[in-house]
Each structure stands twice: as structure tokens, then as C-alpha cells.
Amino acid sequence: MLKQIKGLHHVTSIASGAQENNAFFTKSLGLRRVKKTVNFDNPKLYHLYYGNEAGSPGTVITYFPNPNAKARQEGTGEVSVTRFSVPKGSILWWEQYFTESGITHLPRETTFGQAQLPFLGPDGENLALVEANEARAPWRTPSVPEGHAIRGFHSVELRLKDTGPTKDLLRFMGYETAGQEGNRTRLVCPAVSTANVIDLMEDPEAPAAQQGAGSVHHIAFSVETREDQMEVQKTLTEAGWAVTSVKDRDYFWAIYFRSPEGILFEVATNEPGFARDEDAAHLGEELRLPKQHEHLREELLENYLEPITEP
Ligand code: ZN
């Protein structure tokens, strides 16, 4: 069993419009854009990162905006909800704020004893706020009062035909079963106290999901160091998982493999972080390009990357 995994590192999803996506996560939700760059494997697409002040692991939601992204089909074998954590007593404020701002939200609910407010992102993606005990500091912005602001991830929920094999994998990765409510199993990573929850929702009759705008592309688990990552890579490989080689993603190192129902899992290092190539006081303000794509800057800006007007 692995001991190096420290909960979620980031969640990466697909958007249609960069402008709408940026405005929603910065202005409406009050996150900081901590990096504006491009997809390593397809530099014609942006890669936008939003999180807390430093973009700490466990706070960062990232998007590949793609104007040609097709419509998604919800179903099994995907991340069905991405949930952010807010301080206790905040959800009523958010409910009113969403209503006033024209952001679609669903009725409040209680899951595993925690108040939860599901809402939709600009591509109809399923997001939620969960009230939790929080010591993490938020990014301070005029949009959202500090006492109610998002602290980072609470959890993700995976919708699966059969939760058994994924539960076994997560337990191998260091998660422990923490509860069961109806067809939902909660797993918690005891090594950390935040961004440490994964819910598995069993739905044997639903069709397989098809990825498109609003889908989660992958979730990344956190490890402290490259040495820890090598241990994870070795142990998973020995257990029969098809794990990739280590990729340098500039702000972290990454390895990838597919979970039993095909969800892309990444294991990313907490080092070196987003201040690697720009001043921590100005994270995310300028377009940063990976070295190998720097020569394409003018072409990308002229022909592919839509201008993002800051809200
Ligand atoms: Zn990733």
C-alpha cells in the first residue's frame, strides 16, 4: 500500500470559451488565476489554472478551453462532481449570491453530515460547495467576502458502473473507507486534512460518459517530492498499472495511468510550484509558454489563443 499520496493536487477539466471560463473562476468564484499558459501537448489551446494565493496543491482547478470542444455526455467512468470547501455557515451567503449573479444552483443538501450546495459552471459542469472546518487561507478578492471564500477542494465524486475495483485501487493508494450513504461510498486520505475526500457513486445502469466541454479531463493526486513520485510509479507498476514515464510539466512533475473504468489519474509533485517562472506577486498575469513552445508565441496569439479580457 502507498503512503506517499497526500490527497488531491489539482483537477483539470475541458471548457469551451476561455473568456467565460476565466471570468467565472476569477470574478464569480473569487479564485486567483495562478497561471496562464498553454496545453503542453497542444499549444494551440490555453491551459488556465485557478487556485488560492500560491496555487497550493489541493486548491487548483485547471482548464483546457477549446472553442471546438464537443458537447459532453454525462455517465459512468468520469468525475461527476468537483467540490470546493467553504467555511461553516457560508452556504446561505453563496446561495443568495448565485441567485443574484444568475449562476445556476440546485437545492441545498446534506451528504455525510455536511451541508452542500451544488451549482453549475459556465459549461454546465457539476460543481458544489461543501461546508467544512477549514484552516486554509483564501485568495482575497473584492468579489467574495473573505469569511465565505473558497478554501480549495473538498472532494471529487466518481460515477462508476461498479465501485469495487476503483475502491480497491484507492485503498491501495492510501485512502480509507469512511462511510456509505445509499449508493455512495466515501473514501478519505488520512495523510492530510484537506482535499482528502473521494466519493464513489455506483450507477450500474447509466451509459458510459463521453468527454466534452464541461467534463473533467483528469484528477491529479499529490506527492511531496520526486522521490515519492518514483516510489508511487514503481509500486503501481509492480501492481500491474500501466503508468507513464515522468513528464516535466514546468510547475510539477507528473505521471499518469487509467483507473479501472478509464478515468485518467495523475500523480503530481508539490515541487516546484507556480512561482518557478514568475514573481509570486504577479502569478498568472502574463502568458507563460513552455520553453519548447516559446518560438510559437506570436503565431499562437495571432491565430489560436483568444484574448482574455480581465473582468
Ligand atoms: Zn494534470
Map the chain to HEC letters: CCCCCCCEEEEEEEECCHHHHHHHHHHHCCCEEEEEEEECCEEEEEEEEEECCCCCCCCEEEEEECCCCCECECCECEEEEEEEEEECCCHHHHHHHHHHHCCCECCCEEECCEEEEEEECCCCCEEEEEEECCCCCCCCCCCCCHHHCCCEEEEEEEEECCHHHHHHHHHHCCCEEEEEECCEEEEECCCCCCCCEEEEEECCCCCECECCECCEEEEEEEECCHHHHHHHHHHHHHCCCCCCCCEECCCEEEEEEECCCCCEEEEEEEEECHHHCCCHHHCCCCECCCHHHHHHHHHHHHHCCCCCCCC
The domain ranges of the chain are 8-303
Separation of CA 11 and ligand 1 centre (Å)? 7
> Is the pLDDT score of 2 beyond 80?
yes
Residue pair 94/115 in contact by the 8 Å Cβ criterion:
no
Q: Please report which confidence band the pLDDT of residue 222 belongs to, taking 50, 70 and 90 as the band edges.
A: very high
Going from the Cα of 12 to the center of ligand 1, the distance in angstroms, rounded, reads 6
CA 111 to chain CA centroid, Å, is: 20
Q: What are phi and psi of 274, to 5 degrees?
A: -80, -10
Burial of residue 241 (number of CB atoms within 10 Å: 0-12, 13-18, 19+): middle
Report which of 57, 78, 195 is spatially closest to residue 125, judged by C-alpha positions. Answer: 78
Ligand 1 centroid to Cα of residue 48, in Å, is 11
Q: How far is the CA of 267 from the centre of ligand 1 (A)?
A: 8
Distance in Å, CA 111 to ligand 1 centroid: 27
Tens-place pLDDT, residues 119-158: 999 999 999 999 999 899 999 999 899 999 999 999 999 9
Cα 141 to middle of ligand 1, angstroms? 26
pLDDT band, very low/low/confident/very high, at 56 (cuts 50, 70, 90): very high
Span from the CA of 249 to the centroid of ligand 1 (angstroms): 8
Q: Are strands 109-111 and 114-120 parallel, antiparallel or unpaired?
A: antiparallel
Average pLDDT over residues 50-73: 97
C-alpha triplet 125, 285, 248: angle, nearest 5°: 75
- pLDDT at position 93: 98
User: What mean pLDDT is reported for the chain?
Assistant: 97
- What pLDDT score does 268 carry? 98
Section 84-110 average pLDDT: 97
How far does the centroid of ligand 1 lie from the alpha carbon of residue 36, in Å? Answer: 14
> pLDDT grade, residue 310 (50/70/90)?
confident
Mean pLDDT within 298-311: 92
Residue 142 and residue 311 in contact, taking contact as beta carbons nearer than 8 Å: no
- Is pLDDT above 80 for 311? no
Q: How far apart are CA 38 and CA 249, in angstroms?
A: 11
pLDDT tens column, 268-280: 999 999 999 999 9
Q: Mean pLDDT, to the nearest integer, of 225-244?
A: 98
Overall fold of domain 8-303: 2,3-Dihydroxybiphenyl 1,2-Dioxygenase; domain 1 (3.10.180)
**How remote is the CA of residue 1 from the centroid of ligand 1, in Å?**
23
What is the structure's pLDDT at 28? Answer: 97
User: What spacing in Å lies between the alpha carbon of 248 and ligand 1's midpoint?
Assistant: 11
pLDDT tens for 21-48 read: 999 999 999 999 999 999 999 999 999 9
Length of the chain: 311
pLDDT of 258 strictly over 80: yes
Among residues of the chain, what percentage have pLDDT more than 70? 100
At 294 the pLDDT is: 96
271 CA to centre of ligand 1 in angstroms: 14
Please give the span between the terminal C-alpha atoms of the chain, in angstroms, as a whole number.
46
Share of the chain above pLDDT 90, in %: 98
Within 10 Å of residue 294's Cβ, how many Cβ atoms? 11
